[in-house]
Amino acid sequence: MNVILGIVAVIAILFFIIGGTVKALGFLLWIAPILIVLAIIVFLFRLISGRRRV
């Protein structure tokens, strides 16, 4: 009985970690396009203005 309880506890912890990871990836999937658009805007602004400084 203790072995089954241990296995269930390990599976529950794994599901908890996987669930948190999926939520984090979902959040990043919303943030990534915004960051890409900002990076493209900054790149185009620097390209058009002719500034080569970093």
pTM value?
0.55
The pLDDT tens digits of the residues spanning 12-41 come to 999 999 998 998 888 888 898 999 999 999
The pLDDT tens digits of the residues spanning 34-49 come to 999 999 999 998 889 8
Closest CA to 28 of 6, 46, 20, 43: 20
CA–CA dist 4, 10 (Å, integer): 10
Domain-by-domain residue ranges, the chain?
1-53
Provide the token pair at 41: 């805007």
pLDDT of 50 higher than 90: no
Amino acid sitting at position 31: I
